[in-house]
Structure 1
Amino acid sequence: MPEAAERAASEDRLLDGRVRLLQPRDGYRAAIDPVLLAAAVPAAPGEQVADLGCGVGAALLCLAARCPEVSVTGIERDPGLAALARENLGLNGLGGRAAIVEGSVADPIPGAPFDRVMMNPPFLPPGRGRASVHPVKAAANVEDGLDLAGWAAAAARALKPRGWLTLIHRADRVDEICAALRSGFGSLTLFPLWPRAGQPARRLLVQARRGGRSPAVLAAGLVLHEAGGGYTPAAQAVLRDAAPLAL
């Protein structure tokens, strides 16, 4: 990696050190959302998975660490983040079964159609909340050009018939998420992520099947924190021990 890029990025670890992650020192930085997203993708050996809007590759790296016989492709429109994502593939020894495509998720994706798609799209529509002054962080948090319906359509185009989509989003947009998936998807599972027992969910994992027809399911979800503030044993198993989340 060029010296200037080294100064602009820091190296962090995910899954209790199983994943090495270079990410910008300033702007958007991955937290637990991509780890939870990857844990919710039940990829089988030999399957090909696309990560739409992959950023520096946190989710696809976590998935690859848990599922060593799965191939992953990340799509990222920001050149700087795409470059870091490629560096991260090398850091984690994934050059042979992973690739990063620089471009918009709305464009045709090399390697499509995929068995599975995962994505962590921007959480806010334009005009809601205060956008970051950092352009990369603002682009990661606020929809720009593609709304939720656009992201869902991009996922459908990237999937094989009967393929599966897994996404993470804000729980308070559940009605918009379901509406966006109504065209092209079915067999939804909604999996709330509770900050603590008895508190409203802030995040939501959603799984949907292209062309699925089964009724929607509201799962029990996962409580992230104990009353005292630490992670629950179930959350620790996912975030540190690379345990899967069964939606």
Structure 2
Amino acid sequence: MKFKTILFCIILILFSLEDISAQENFPNTPPEESPMLMQPEMTEIWEPQVKVISAAKTLGNPPSDAIILFDGKSLDAWVSQRDTMKLAQWKIINNDYFEVVPGSGSIQTKMKFGDCQLHIEFSAPDSVKFSGQGRGNSGVFFQNRYELQVLDSYNNRTYSNGQAGSIYKDHAPLVNAMRSPLEWNSYDVIYTAPRFKKNGKLESPAKITVLHNGVLIQNNVSINGLTRYIGLHDYPSAHGDDVILLQDHGAKVQFRNIWIRKI
């Protein structure tokens, strides 16, 4: 019995000596710490506060921070593309909408935009006279370069990347949500401008999301470059913010309720 007790004491002494030796060799080794437990407030962001705006009570109407490009009464936000010193030559009707005056030329905003949210409503002529690209043809150009096609695509077959809601000659819409010529259509667009490197080379392409009459038809697609009628799209040169342009394509397309938000 005494032998077992003596042996146990010797083992305790050896372990104690080993612990002392370890502390002498690594005197600054801190004791093991339990990992810090996450608290709810560690992932809360309080600043900066989110800006308060007033959303429209009626869907499609502008929120409080929107820039009004057309309210039914004035085209003062627009100028002629042919001569930017002249106001837009298109015709306002019934203090409600305006229509293209074929041959007068396209119109463009006085202000320049990059990333933006745009709402615009349009309608083809009530009387159907032509087919294909000849029916209600116009276009919304972002940064004066990248076209979202406007066309009467109601019972009107044409090439898919040239119908209403297409990124012209680039991306066909996911679906055709066009209403009849007797009804108004709306586009709600989220547009992200392209980014360029310091040397002028493309860093990231423009992107666009489009809802046509509330239906998603372009889902954050990459725009492949400058809209061209003939040839492949590309980004030939770097650029910054630029105008929103509405195209005169020889048809009496009608527009109303246009507003935009810089984002």
TM-score when scaled to structure 1?
Answer: 0.29
Task: Please tell me whether Structure 1 or Structure 2 has the larger radius of gyration of its CA atoms.
Answer: 2
TM-score when scaled to structure 2?
Answer: 0.27
Higher relative contact order, chain-length normalized (CA < 8 Å, sep 6+) = 2
